[in-house]
């Protein structure tokens, strides 16, 4: 069975303790994507908590003004 087909990471131990993890490139890419989404979520939550958001109506109004459409 190949590691990339199993979907499971392989843990390498040294002196009975986990020392390294081997994972497929696809699994690493999925993990990185999930972490990026979590970072975006945290950033959004901080923006909401810090009252640094605008309504959708105001956001579109600002976009129209920037584009010279208003």
Is pLDDT above 80 for 14?
A: yes
CA distances, 16 to each of 9, 21, 23, 40, 70 (Å): 17, 14, 20, 37, 68
Is pLDDT above 70 for 3?
A: no
Q: How many domains does the chain have?
A: 1
What are all long-range contacts of 61-70, with beta carbons under 8 Å and residues at least 24 apart? none
Report the residue count for the chain: 70
pLDDT tens, residue by residue, 57-67: 999 999 999 99
pLDDT tens, residue by residue, 20-36: 999 999 899 999 999 99
Domain that holds residue 19: 3-67
pLDDT at 1: 55
What values do phi and psi take at 51, rounded to 5?
A: 55, 45
């Amino acid at each position: 069975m190949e590691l990339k087909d199993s979907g499971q990471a392989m843990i390498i131990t040294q002196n009975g303790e986990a020392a390294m993890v081997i994972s497929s490139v696809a699994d690493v890419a999925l993990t990185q994507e999930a972490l990026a989404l979590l970072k975006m979520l945290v950033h959004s939550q901080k923006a909401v908590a810090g009252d640094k958001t605008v309504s959708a109506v105001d956001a579109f109004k600002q976009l129209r003004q920037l584009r010279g459409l208003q």
